[in-house]
Structure 1
């Protein structure tokens, strides 16, 4: 199997995840900003590998499989880090619930797309505008929260903005998930469709 440039970029994005985790916890000055830079770099490769794949016609089955996996790993790992490092208080519950909603939606929609692909209806659950908006809001919120995650951070208002941006992303997550479910609902109600796992 020959690995093309977009797929190498996706693999690079996956490799950046443990780097971000290590930097997130290392006790050096500016480690939070460094971790945010690593996250942004990973997000840029997400856009770049898709752009190159379309522009240079460098698509592959392995790349198509790996790209969404890398995206979901990046978001899930970052959310777990932020929940673990969150300041104690009522907002920590909100953060944990929001993270659970986002990760749960990603798992559910991935399963839905896989099932729809099995019955030849994957195009029915293609990415909608609300899903793209959710992704942008989510990425901005995560960058702000990574930068401001330290308990001694002075810009508490900026951290609060990051929290509420993530909550908005969580609401958009539910909305987009329901959009995908509504699109797939006629197929889910079809009693004549066999279970693809059988």
Structure 2
């Protein structure tokens, strides 16, 4: 166990705390749950940075980091879909969660084929993640109907567009392995 892995595990521990606070019958729940999600997003960046800087990358960390990220994002989007109760928020949430499932399966399959490098995280994926995190934080911090929540929704649509774009890039890179006879 090392510091990067502890930070990754802390993101998973934050999930029930985040959900519990979000559903408290108090107004400050929005800002506190957004702060918890922000802390989780920062630990996501920090654990990767520390793992590289301190040369503490581990197979366990490489496995758990994307799992923790996807769990936190999926739970936050699910909570927001329930809170907002609108198709306008549900559509980009479904795109984002669906893409995560597809790309996770693709990476797993490509690893079994010995071609995991062709579906490594890309620069567009990092931009997508940043837009997605800022959108979720904004949507969590401001209840439905406020101007800032509308800005968060617009940013979530941008993140969903980047999500589809990055998925297409991953699928294009994996295409020769997925369909070797169609070169």
Q: Same fold (TM over 0.5)?
A: yes
Correspondence for 1:37: 35
List aligned pairs for 1:39-188, cutoff 5 A: 39-86=37-84, 88=85, 92-149=86-143, 151=144, 156-188=146-178
**Bigger Rg, structure 1 or 2:** 1
Describe the SS at the equivalent of 1:26: coil
**Larger helix share, 1 or 2:** 2
The alpha-carbon deviation at position 121 of structure 1 amounts to: 0.5
- The aligned length equals 181
1:182 aligned counterpart, secondary structure: helix
Paired position in structure 1 for 2:5: 7
Looking at structure 1, the residues matched to 3 and 149 of structure 2 have their Cα atoms a distance apart, in angstroms, of 36
**CA distance, structure 2, for counterparts of residue 109 and residue 93 of structure 1:** 24
- TM-superposed CA distance for 1:5, in Å, is 1.2
Report the TM-score, using the length of structure 2 for normalisation. 0.96
Q: TM-score, normalised by structure 1?
A: 0.89
Runs of 4+ in structure 1 over 6 Å off: none
What SS class does the counterpart of residue 56 from structure 2 fall into? coil
The reply to whether residue 18 of structure 1 matches residue 16 of structure 2 is: yes
Q: Secondary structure at the match of 1:127?
A: coil
Report SS of the residue matched to 2:180: coil
| TM-superposition CA deviations, 1:59-114 (whole Å, max 9, x none) | 1111110000000001000000000000x5xxx11211111110000000011011
For 1:116 and 1:126, how far apart are their aligned partners in 2?
Answer: 10
